[in-house]
Structures are given as structure tokens and as C-alpha cells.
Amino acid sequence: MLKIRLTRLGDKKNPFYRVVVADSKAPRDGKFIDILGTFDPLVQENSIKIDKDKTLEWIKKGAIPTDTARATLVRAGILEPIPYKPKPNAKPPKVKEKKKKGA
């Protein structure tokens, strides 16, 4: 199975990522098939540079983006975000009431 995922590069506390297509069994920073682009989380402006045509071609071939890679592709404007749908039988979370002291 092919995955679109991030490969970490850069120094300690100075991360830099490549967006790559790799076999799901390959290690994170190991063997990959193709480089789709780069992502620098420390730079605020234009930090995501990904080839849109190449990415969409790999998705058509069956490559599945990981959650982090999907979020990066959504931020780059290549994929549409998945709308949030609450579960039909979900109960609201319980809120604990605080007890007052000295009463």
C-alpha cells in the first residue's frame, strides 16, 4: 500500500519535512518512491511547497495520505478538508461541578 507522508530532515529542534510517496512498510525516514514537495513549520509565510499535479496523480494511483500529510495538503490548497460529522448517538461530555469549601 502506498502512503503520502512526511519525512523529517533538519537539525535538532529545527525540523524540515519532505512530503513523499512511500510504501507503508518502509521506515519513516527510509526508502521512498517520489518526492512531492517540502514543508517548513518554522517559517510562517509560504512554508508549504508541493507539486499539485504530481500529488493528484499519485492519489489517483491509490496513494493514501496520512493524517498529518492530509492536513498539510489541505493547508496547501490541494485537497478539500473533510467535514466534521458528529456521531449520531453521541452523548455530550459530563461536566463535574466544583464543591464549595466551608459550607
The rounded distance, in Å, linking the Cα atoms of 13 and 92 is 39
**CATH architecture designation of domain 2-76:** 2-Layer Sandwich (3.30)
Q: Do 33 and 20 touch, CB atoms closer than 8 A? A: yes
C-alpha cell at 19: 512530503
Domain residue extents for the chain: 2-76
Among 51, 61, 52, 8, residue whose Cα is nearest residue 32: 8
Residue 46 clears pLDDT 70, i.e. is over it? yes
Residue 40 clears pLDDT 80, i.e. is over it? yes
For residue 87, how many other CB atoms are within 10 A of its CB?
Answer: 6
Residue 8 clears pLDDT 90, i.e. is over it? yes
Q: What sections of the chain are H helices per DSSP?
A: 52-60, 67-76
- What pLDDT digit, counting tens, does each position of 64-102 carry? 999 999 999 999 999 998 887 777 777 777 777 777 776
Residue range 54-70: average pLDDT? 94
Average pLDDT of the chain to the nearest whole number: 88
Q: Confidence band (pLDDT; 50, 70, 90) for 103?
A: low
